[in-house]
Amino acid sequence: MKIALAQLNYHIGNFESNTEKIISAIDKAKAEGAELVVFAELSVCGYPPRDFLEFKSFIEECGKSITEIAAACKGIAAIVGAPSSNPNIHGKNLFNSAYFLAEGKVEKIISKALLPTYDVFDEYRYFEPSRKFEVVEYKGERIALTICEDIWDIEQDPMYVVNPMDELAKQKPTLMVNIAASPFDYNHADERRKVMRYNAEKYKLPLFYVNHVGAQTELIFDGGSMVADNSGKIVEELNYFKDDFRIFDTGKLNFEKKLHKTDSKIERIHDALVLGIRDYFGKMGFSKAILGLSGGIDSAVVLALASRALGKENVSVLLLPSQFSSDHSISDSEEMCKRLGTKYHIIGIKEIFSVIDNKLKPIFAGMPFNVAEENIQARIRGILLMAMTNKFGSILLNTTNKSEAAVGYGTLYGDMNGGLSILGDVYKTQVYELANHINNLDNCIPENIITKAPSAELRENQKDSDSLPEYSILDEILFDYIEKRLGPKELIAKGYDEKLVMRILKMVNTSEYKRHQLPPVLRVSPKAFGVGRRMPIVGKYLS
């Protein structure tokens, strides 16, 4: 049987666009001789729809789309993801389902059994797990149809009490199809391949896998749909970070052997961030971005990424020097703008700061210059940048990196402003890697921005290292604490200094209130700040 995989970029709640894309792919598959075309999990409504699922009208729109798509399935069958109603009064009202459409109607509905409720996933909030397992028969094939998590529970310590494929295997299927919404992180493609190989080898069946591509606010979907043969070998992968469409013949799977090239971790992060920026703007209906360019590496990397995602003509820059800004911060920023062809304006903030400082002097009388005056400068910059966004209808890009966000090294309503956080899941040491990768592509970041010591330049001769450990050490401890969830005893046992560990962990935990006010953070790691990491603001543990 000829099976088409349609890897598409959906838009949450945009039923007209999603339905049009799906029907267009069905027509293409039919014209090219496919007998079945497969789409991703919850493709009709987009993933994750979250609390939209609590609206009756939203579910009704899903149903209308399914009816319209089914009508296009004549002479060809399709597997499409959408919510379905639970007819049983007990349990949640919805299932996360795969609709098998043929002959102009819904032939069968298969629902997801394993509902992930961890990290960025909260499916049990909305869906009832299916407890019924049955194959789909079509054109002589017996299809074991599963949805994403249903084939992922393969570890030695299973998370669930049932294995859907073990149940389906009892019905002697001839092939497996898995439709998914599997978000990107820089390790996930390798994990995904491992899961597909494991299932194909274990059940000795070919596996057809379709994933989402595109970004939905902070979640980025990288595609990478694939086919594995019945020996567990990956036969072919679809493209990463863009729409793709392929047709496979189940009788000729051993002869393709077209594997996607393996990119480095930093390449994957770069491509994910570019897609994340592009889709956030496109799906929100915006085209123009603005950012403050400080002469430091974080804002330089954000400018380069935004220019690549949106086009240089759609990105503008403010240079906002104070009395503490170095000459090279201004000249380096100007040089980068010239290399990219980016529009920029220079607005000095010394006079504005003096006005505010003078107004506060009677109240601050006799008190030394400290973080209060430093933050005033950051907030002046925030006001000016937000004024530009309001006047010209652009979105302010936040340039805070993950190391800074972790320890609270940033000013609320100042440099933590923005509509989207580009580097909030990228540690400082990774930002340097990104800068070097970007320069290998088009050499747009001046070398001095990469090599000079990082500084907020909010007081005379300030360096980040005055307030923080060296980033090479800080990032290692942060990674072990945030991504690996190691506690203080485990960190100290690894050889880190005890006082340093306790200091850093306290900084992380007492800064939670700041992270709650960050803009959405593009997720590129297995544990990002935002919806996937839920910590109390008022908590005594390690604070």
> What percent of the chain stands above pLDDT 90?
91
Q: Is the pLDDT of residue 298 over 60?
A: yes
Q: Which of 41, 61, 218, 374 is catalytic?
A: 41
Per-residue DSSP letter, 365: T
Please give the Cα distance from 355 to 505 (Å, whole number). 38
Q: Is residue 476 within 8 Å of residue 501, measured between CB atoms?
A: no
In which residue are the tokens 């505010």 written? 356
Q: Pick the closest to residue 345 from 337, 356, 354 (CA basis).
A: 337
Q: Is the pLDDT of residue 75 over 50?
A: yes
pLDDT of amino acid 467 = 80
In which residue are the tokens 């889709």 written? 279
Please give the Cα distance from 8 to 81 (Å, whole number). 12
Rg (CA), the chain: 26
Q: Is the pLDDT of residue 257 over 70?
A: no
Per-residue DSSP letter, 15: H
Please give the Cα distance from 423 to 456 (Å, whole number). 16
Average pLDDT of the chain to the nearest whole number: 95
Please give the Cα distance from 291 to 260 (Å, whole number). 35
pLDDT band, residue 324 (cuts 50/70/90): confident
Please give the Cα distance from 81 to 41 (Å, whole number). 4
Q: What is the pLDDT of residues 79-100, one digit of tens each?
A: 999 999 999 999 999 999 999 9
Q: Which contiguous run of DSSP H or E holds residue 290? A: strand 289-292
CA geometry: angle 215, 219, 221, nearest 5 deg? 55
Q: Give CA 337 to chain center in angstroms.
A: 28
Q: Is residue 217 within 8 Å of residue 13, measured between CB atoms?
A: no
Q: Is residue 46 within 8 Å of residue 18, measured between CB atoms?
A: yes
Higher-confidence residue of 423 and 327: namely 423
Q: What is the pLDDT of residues 186-233, one digit of tens each?
A: 999 999 999 999 999 999 999 999 999 999 999 999 999 999 999 999
Which segment of 41-45, 175-179, 259-263 scores lowest on mean pLDDT?
259-263
Instruction: Reply yes or no: is the peptide bond before residue 48 cis, omega within 30 of 0.
Output: yes
Please give the Cα distance from 324 to 322 (Å, whole number). 5
In which residue are the tokens 């992922």 written? 152
Q: Is the pLDDT of residue 397 over 60?
A: yes
Q: Which of 112, 283, 402, 428 is catalytic?
A: 112
Please give the Cα distance from 446 to 435 (Å, whole number). 10
Q: Is the pLDDT of residue 145 over 70?
A: yes
180, two tokens:
């998914």
148 is catalytic: yes
Query: Going by C-beta distance under 8 Å and a sequence separation of 6 or more, which residues neighbour residue 443?
Result: 339
pLDDT of amino acid 447 = 96
Please give the Cα distance from 85 to 95 (Å, whole number). 6
Q: Is the pLDDT of residue 155 over 60?
A: yes
Higher-confidence residue of 374 and 540: namely 374
Q: Is residue 474 within 8 Å of residue 504, measured between CB atoms?
A: yes
Q: Please give the span between the terminal C-alpha atoms of the chain, in angstroms, as a whole number.
A: 60
Q: What are the chain's domains? A: 2-262 (3.60.110.10), 269-464 (3.40.50.620)
62 is catalytic: no
Please give the Cα distance from 529 to 517 (Å, whole number). 11
pLDDT band, residue 255 (cuts 50/70/90): very low
Q: What is the pLDDT of residues 427-464, one digit of tens each?
A: 999 999 999 999 999 999 999 999 988 876 677 777 77
Three-class SS of residue 370?
coil
Region class of 418: left (phi > 0), else alpha (psi between -120 and 50), else beta: left
Q: Which of 45, 62, 148, 444 is catalytic?
A: 148
337 is catalytic: no
pLDDT of amino acid 542 = 82
Q: What is the pLDDT of residues 325-353, one digit of tens each?
A: 777 889 999 999 999 999 999 999 999 99
Section 320-324 average pLDDT? 88
Section 253-265 average pLDDT? 66
Q: What is the pLDDT of residues 221-253, one digit of tens each?
A: 999 999 999 999 999 999 999 999 999 999 888
Q: Is residue 511 within 8 Å of residue 543, measured between CB atoms?
A: no
31, two tokens:
């014209």
Print the SS3 string covering 195-214: HHHHHHHHHCCCEEEECCEE
Determine how β-strand 289-292 pairs with β-strand 226-228: unpaired
In order, the DSSP letters of 165-189 are HHHHHTT--SEEEEE---B--TTHH
Q: Is residue 184 within 8 Å of residue 522, measured between CB atoms?
A: no
